[in-house]
Amino acid sequence: MGEILLTINDVSKQFSHIEALKNVTLTLNRGDIVGLVGGNGAGKTTLLRLMCGLYRPTSGRVLFHADSGPAPVVEMRRFLGVVPESTGLYHRLTAWENIRYHSRLHGISDEECWKNTLRIAKELDFVESLGRPTRGFSKGMRQKAAIIRALAHNPDILLLDEPTSGLDVTSARMVRSLVKRMGQSGGTVIYSTHKLAEAEQVCDRIIIIHNGEVRADGSPGELLGITATTSLEEAYVKLTMDAARETEKEDDEGKIAKLWRRMMTPKKLPGGDVEDE
């Protein structure tokens, strides 16, 4: 296990009446490729935003462990590379201008940024597109540009929010390969996705998050072990199954059956005739 980079200690986040995260405790070590898996609205993006310091925890602490000691993440953003789900590219700027802008904000010289950009762009087969405005980019090209932008300042941690969402098979594969290579070279990645199979392919550690709670945290093998299942899909279903949700499901099924019966029961018309459809 590598050195600790990020600690999330008993963090909860509430938005008016909605409790988006409940007492989340996590530790992220150097070299981890962590899959953050959960359904829509599970709290993945909220957790990522807390890790970037975009949200302040309602309770608990998020700490980044730099050489100088632990510090609030907001002061340590220069060690983070972030690819939000929306990619966040300026469409009137070229891909290179987008990358350079963010690197300047990270205090990286244009020369160093260009060297890094070129290296990553070669891996992603993106060199030719660097000088083009991002306005006409496909979703895949936008995602690649955003990944280069996030990596150009050599971050310690890369946060990816649904990085393969909307990508074709080849582009998604390319992104996954890049993440895997990062892991092999000692990089640290948090990979948020709702695709379990993808997380299984890319990550060596999976965190299942559901209704704002961390339901499980471990390697794929550990998840199978604690749930006594043979596939991650079964493990996920078991881990995210709520008693309340079951009751709700039964209630819903009962309502649907009742409605169906009512619809299928022939109505008696005045005079005793049966209405034909």
Partner 1 sequence: MWKMSRIRLIRAVTLKELIDYVRDWRTLLVIVLVPLLLFPILFVALPLLLQAEFVERQEFDLNVVIQTDDSVESLKPFLFNTEMELSWETIPLGIANLSDSALEDDRIGSGQVHSVLRLQKNIDNGTIWHYAILYDSTDERAKEAKRRLLVAVFAWEDEQVNTTLEMAGLDPYQTLDPVRWDGDSQVADVATTGQQAGFALSLFIPLIVATWTATAAMQPAIDMTAGERERGTLEALLCAPITRMELLVGKWIAVATIAAIGVLIQVVGLFLAIAMIASGSSVLGMPSIGATALILMFSSILLFAVMIVAFQLALAVRSHSVKEAGTVLGPIILLIIIPALFAQLINLEGIEFWWFLIPVVNILIALRELLTDTVVVEHVVLWAGSSLLYAFFAAWYASKQFNREDLVESIN
Minimum CB separation of residue 198 from partner 1 in Å reads: 22
The residue count of the chain comes to: 277
In this complex, which beta carbon is closest to partner 1, that of residue 56 or of residue 249? 56
Question: Kind of pairing, strands 205-210 and 33-37?
Answer: parallel
Measured from the CB atom, is 66 or 224 closer to partner 1? Answer: 66
Q: Interface residues with partner 1 (CB under 8 A)?
A: 49, 52, 54-56, 75-78, 80, 82-93, 97, 101-102, 104-107, 146, 149, 159
Pairing outcome for strands 18-29 and 4-15: antiparallel
User: Measuring CA to CA, how many Å separate 267 from each of 259, 264, 274, 276, 277?
Assistant: 14, 9, 6, 9, 10
Q: Which amino acid is at 243?
A: A
Minimum separation from the CB atom of position 78 to partner 1 (A):
4
- Of all helices (H) and strands (E), which one includes residue 165? none
Nearer to partner 1, 37 or 82 (CB): 82
Closer CB to partner 1, 103 or 227, in the complex: 103
Minimum distance of partner 1 from residue 37's CB (angstroms): 21
Q: How far is the CB of 8 from partner 1 (least distance, A)?
A: 17
Nearer to partner 1, 130 or 208 (CB): 130
User: Considering the complex, what minimum distance in angstroms separates the CB of residue 14 from partner 1?
Assistant: 11
Measured CA distances, 154 to 58, 59, 82, 175, 232 (Å)? 31, 31, 12, 17, 33
Tell me how far, at minimum, the Cβ of 2 lies from partner 1, in Å: 23
Cα separation, 224 vs 221, whole angstroms: 5
Q: What is the DSSP string of 215-241?
A: EEEE-HHHHHHHHT-SSHHHHHHHHH-
User: Distance between CA 32 and CA 85 in Å, rounded?
Assistant: 21
- Based on CB atoms, which residue is closest to partner 1, 98 or 240? 98
Q: Which is nearer to partner 1, 63 or 93 (CB)?
A: 93
Residues 65 and 80 sit within 8 Å (Cβ to Cβ): no
Rounded Cα distance, 227 and 239, in Å? 7
- Beta pairing partners, 61: 9
* Shortest distance in whole angstroms from residue 107 CB to partner 1: 6
